[in-house]
A and B are shown apart, each in its own frame.
Chain A
Amino acid sequence: QKEVEQNSGPLSVPEGAIASLNCTYSDRVSQSFFWYRQYSGKSPELIMSIYSNGDKEDGRFTAQLNKASQYVSLLIRDSQPSDSATYLCAVMDTGRRALTFGSGTRLQVQP
C-alpha cells in the first residue's frame, strides 16, 4: 500500500502570515500530486496540481515538488480566516491509477 504522510496539525497561523503545509510520499514513480481543501462537512475541492519538480504558483498558493526527496508542499501567502480548513495531499498511484490521500492537515488562521 502506497503511503502519503501529512502532519495532522492543527497548524495555527495569524491572519496575513504564510502557512506552510508539507507532505511526503512513498511511491518513487508517482508523477502527479494534488492539494485539496476540505471544509468541515463538505467535499474536497482542488487547490493545486503539480507534476514537475519546482514551484507552481496560483494566486496566493504555491505548490512545491521535490521528487528526489519525495516531498510536496503547499504555501499559502497572506492567510485569511476563510483559509481555515483541512488540506489534503493526494498522490496518483501509478499502479492503480487512482488517488491516494494523506490524512490531512488542519489549518487554523487566527484573525
Chain B
Amino acid sequence: DTEVTQTPKHLVMGMTNKKSLKCEQHMGHRAMYWYKQKAKKPPELMFVYSYEKLSINESVPSRFSPECPNSSLLNLHLHALQPEDSALYLCASSQVPDNSGANVLTFGAGSRLTVL
C-alpha cells in the first residue's frame, strides 16, 4: 500500500460547526504533515508529527487542532473557522528525515474545505 488516504474529499461547514479531516497511511511512515493550499498558491506547511509527537506548528490559529492517535492516522479538528480558511488541505507522510534531509513526501488527494 503506497497511498495516503484523506477523508472527506469535500467538506462544507458553517462558522459555528465542528468537523474533522482524517488522513491514513500504511507505509510505515513515522512523519506526517498537514499542508494548506489556497488557489494558485503553493502548499503551506501547518503541522508536522514525528513519531506521533507534534514537532512543528507553523503558528497556526487554535481553531485548527491536529491529532495523531497512532502511527497510521492523522486528524485535523476544525472549530469556529472563518471563510478565509476555505482551501485544499493536504496530508502527507514520509520517513522521518535524517540529518541529510533525504526525504520524499507522499501526498494524499486532499480535502477541499469550504467555510460559509
> Do A101 and B104 touch (CB < 8 A)?
no
The answer to the question of A80 belonging to the interface, with a C-beta cut-off of 8 Å to chain B, is no
The answer to the question of A94 belonging to the interface, with a C-beta cut-off of 8 Å to chain B, is yes
Give the size of the chain A interface in residues (CB under 8 angstroms). 24
A-B contact count (CB 8 A): 63
Task: Give the most central of A31, A34, A98, A100: most B CB within 10 Å.
Answer: A98
CB distance from A105 to the nearest CB of B (A): 11
Give the size of the chain B interface in residues (CB under 8 angstroms). 26
A31: which of B48, B88, B101 is its contact (CB, 8 Å)? B101
> Do A44 and B107 touch (CB < 8 A)?
yes
Tell whether A51 pairs with B102 under 8 Å between CB atoms, given A88-B42, A101-B42, A103-B41. Answer: yes
Chain A interface, DSSP helix/strand/loop, else mixed: loop
CB distance from B59 to the nearest CB of A (A): 11
Cβ < 8 Å to A, chain B residues 25-60 = 31, 33, 41-45, 48, 50, 55-56
Proximity bits, A30-47, B CB within 8 Å = 1, else 0: 111010000000111110
> Do B45 and A31 touch (CB < 8 A)?
no
